[in-house]
């Protein structure tokens, strides 16, 4: 199966990897430089939560753990 979106994402990933010679440390340093430039322009960056698992009412948790009604052909068995 050949999906256009998957192929495009992989091409972008490969281009970014090639740009930094597949060095994650170089990529990380570039991201940090970009963040510093944004902060110098006065843009406030929001830090990630220190322990996301402890946040019980996040949008992610609400969508992942929402109670879903299951169709069951037998009355009273799927609720």
Give per-residue pLDDT as tens, 31-72: 999 999 999 999 888 877 677 666 666 665 555 555 555 444
Please tell me which residue, 21 or 46, carries the higher pLDDT value: 21
Please tell me whether the overall predicted TM-score, pTM, comes out greater than 0.75 for this model.
Answer: no
Whether the CA torsion 54, 58, 60, 61 is positive or negative: it is: positive
Q: Which two tokens stand for residue 6?
A: 């998957």
Domain boundaries, the chain: 4-49
pLDDT attached to residue 11: 94
Are 38 and 44 in contact, with CB atoms under 8 Å apart? Answer: no
Are 38 and 45 in contact, with CB atoms under 8 Å apart? Answer: yes
- Give the span between the Cα atoms of 35 and 66, in whole angstroms: 35
């Amino acid at each position: 199966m050949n999906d256009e979106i998957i192929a495009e994402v992989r091409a972008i990933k490969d281009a970014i990897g090639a740009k930094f010679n597949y060095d994650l440390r170089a990529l990380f340093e570039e991201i940090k430089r970009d963040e510093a430039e944004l902060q110098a322009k006065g843009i406030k960056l929001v830090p990630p939560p220190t322990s996301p698992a402890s946040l019980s009412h996040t949008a992610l948790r609400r969508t992942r753990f929402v109670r879903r009604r299951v169709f069951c052909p037998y009355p009273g068995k799927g609720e």
